[in-house]
Amino acid sequence: MCGIVGYVGNKACQDVILGSLERLEYRGYDSSGIASIDNDQLVLRRAVGKLSELKAKTQLEPVSGRIGIGHIRWATHGGVTEKNAHPHLVNGEVAIVHNGIIENYADLKKELIEKDFLFNSDTDSEVLAHLFARAFNEGLEPVAALRTVLKKIEGAFAFAAISKSHPETLLVARNASPLAIGFSDEMAIVASDATAMAHLTSRVTYLKDNDYAVITAKNCDIFDGNNELAKREIVQVKAAPILLDKAGFRHYMEKEIHEQPDAISHTISAMTDVSGNLTAGLDSSSLSQIKQIVLVAAGTSFYAAQIGRYWIERLAGIPVVCEIASEYHYRNPAVNGYTTAIVISQSGESIDSLMAMRHAKILGLETLGIVNVADSSIAREADRILPTRAGPEIGVASTKAFTAQLVVLICLAIALGKNNGRLDSSRANHLFQNLLKIPGAIGKSMKLFDQIRPIAHRLKNARSCLFLGRDVLFPLACEGALKLKELSYIHAEGFASGEMKHGPIALVEDGLPIVSFVSEDEMARKAVSNLKEAEARGGYIIVVGTQTAVDMIDFAVEKIIIPNCEPILAPIVGAIPVQILAYLTAFEKGTDIDQPRNLAKSVTVE
Ligand code: AGP
């Protein structure tokens, strides 16, 4: 994924670019770099590791030009080394930063090497620098150079380039990867998102796919894919200020877990009208048009989708399929009868989800986005938005965005069911009244930190861990496994409890931790039998549920008691121990909780 920045203006670029990169750190943190034209020379600083490494380097050796580009990397092609860090420089003439993947880079690299171009990195991106160097050596002006380079490359990209021969000019382009341009009187800035320029301006324009631009401090010419000058609207972006403050918590994740009562209350408000009636943000005729749904998402958002499917089918009787976003648009899905694609994404920038949404549009489906970042690509491109109001989520592990997504989905399920008559008013009202109690229940769940700490202490030595659940708690089990592995690097898998006997039970050996979510409803007795089978084979059984539910599992070694709630809403309350268990286990292991290895907050490469 990576984040890119470019600046041209009346200030020294170093602090501006570092400030922007700090706001883009959610996109990667393997390495970072900055290049500038300083006293007619292209200067470069790069460092492996988090942005703090680059900051330290630039403090010792500052860069003082008034034009520059910066990059924060999540490695795709080439290891995490300084030579693979961006910017890439060619002959001290041209520097580029790139987000995305140049899919035909191998062919281009071969062609350039045959013409004696020397490569210094293992990245796909470096071909861009060589293509620009070649274009400028041939005497091309910036616009012509850009067109020449764009004609050669295929794939997803947003890039920025600077050249010593045009020291006042930024050259940028995008296809599939996002790029925003910000303006004020004395400068222009480009970045992977508008938040990265919030310290300089709120006047922003977004490039569309295949757009490219030639930018100076006073002028910006944007061209579309047909090489015509394009007018792109300048909007006022209310970018949230960067939240550097952890409010006394040790990690953003810990803070974000605690923010969930508010995140859920705000999201419920967004799902109601001015009189407090549940509408899910859609009028009756829009709800009536939803006949069959495909829910598309990735990672944690996908598990929210799976829970949403249980809810929508049960409460509204509307058929739903869930699709992993990265699979959806490549497998020619049959859409006969499907009317609506709902894309769920915290960031609104996951490229898999964005591409899937575009594919759904091509297939003629109405698109709804359940998105947390209001000015994100998915939010801008979806036909309609059902917002989650979780506020900025900084920790890489999704917590409050997940529970807020669940709130939107349960509201949608109730609204659809009430609208089509599957749910009578009193049941709909009963469910909604119970939903209103969830922020309080989640507030009480914060006590679980103390209860779960000793379990996490034991879990930190595990090599593997299973998570089980039935019905609405099955996707939560999968989310539990994802959270544990991404934060603590312990291998974990989530299974439907009833599936254990079909294979996974072979994994059970003495001491294998098995976290099982149990409910009080008709599923309870079956879950007990499934767990008994695992216990008989030596599993270390940890149950999570309400007091009544866990009391049924008298053989469990550990019991995590969640506050009482309507059984169908249990995944929302049950998400809290999932998050706390993963957080505390990672804390015990000493891993990097807010920025776990190999991950990034927003995944903008396929
Ligand atoms: C969640 O903890 C993960 N870091 C990840 O699975 C995430 O949910 C996924 O990448 C989807 O992101 P999105 O919701 O921003 O599209």
What's the pTM value of the predicted model, to 2 decimals?
0.81
Is 353 touching ligand 1 by the criterion CB < 6 Å?
yes
Annotated active-site residue in 2, 322, 411, 478: 2
301 in contact with ligand 1, CB cutoff 6 A? yes
Residue 532 reports pLDDT greater than 80 = yes
pLDDT tier for residue 239 given thresholds of 50, 70 and 90 = low
- CA-nearest residue for atom 2, ligand 1, is 397
Question: Measured from the CA of 405, which atom of ligand 1 is nearest?
Answer: 14
Q: Is the CB of 347 under 6 A from ligand 1?
A: yes
> How far lies 536's CA from each of 151, 218, 276, 429, 533, in Å?
64, 74, 50, 43, 5
Residue 499 has what DSSP assignment?
G
Those residues with Cβ within 8 angstroms of residue 36's Cβ, 6 or more apart along the chain or in another chain: 13, 14, 42, 43, 63, 64, 65, 67, 68, 69, 162
Verify whether residue 601 is a known catalytic residue.
Answer: yes
If one compares 392 and 563, the residue with the highest pLDDT of the two is 563
Of 445-454, 472-481, 524-533, where does mean pLDDT reach its minimum? 524-533
Amino acid (one-letter) located at 509:
E
pLDDT level of residue 240 (50, 70, 90 thresholds): low
Q: How far is the CA of 299 from the centre of ligand 1 (A)?
A: 5
pLDDT digits (tens, 9 = 90+) for 256-309: 999 999 899 889 989 998 888 899 999 999 999 999 999 999 999 999 999 999
* pLDDT value at residue 357: 96
From the alpha carbon of 599, which atom of ligand 1 is closest? 4
Q: How many CB atoms lie within 10 A of CB 41?
A: 11
CB of 405 shorter than 6 A to ligand 1: no
**Among 97, 76, 399, 103, which Cα is nearest to 256's?**
399
Please tell me whether residue 187 adopts helix, strand or coil conformation: strand
Q: What is the pLDDT of residues 355-366, one digit of tens each?
A: 999 999 999 999
pLDDT digit string (tens) for 55-76? 999 999 999 899 999 999 988 8
Does 479 score more than 90 pLDDT? Answer: yes
Q: What is residue 282's three-state secondary structure?
A: coil
Atom of ligand 1 nearest to the CA of 398: 2
Taking all residues of the chain, what is their mean pLDDT, rounded to a whole number? 93
| Share above pLDDT 90 across residues of the chain, in percent, rounded to a whole number | 79
Nearest to 75 by CA among 598, 487, 601: 598
Is there a contact between 402 and 305 (Cβ–Cβ < 8 Å)? no
pLDDT at residue number 237: 79
Nearest CA to ligand 1 atom 6: 299
Cα separation values, 435 from 215, 278, 283, 342, 471, Å: 50, 11, 21, 22, 19
Tell me the pLDDT tens digit for each residue of 200-224: 898 999 998 899 999 999 999 999 9
> Rounded to a whole number, what is the distance in angstroms from the first to the last CA of the chain?
9
Catalytic residue flag (residue 478): no
CB 70 within 8 A of CB 111: no
Report the pLDDT value the prediction gives residue 201, as an integer from 0 to 100: 92
Q: Give 604's pLDDT tier (boundaries 50, 70, 90).
A: confident
Q: For 75-79, which contacts have Cβ atoms below 8 Å and span 24 or more sequence positions?
A: 75/28, 75/30, 75/31, 76/2, 76/101, 76/123, 76/124, 76/605, 77/101, 77/105, 77/122, 77/123, 77/124, 77/125, 78/121, 78/122, 78/123, 78/124, 79/122
Structure tokens at 317: 């009787």
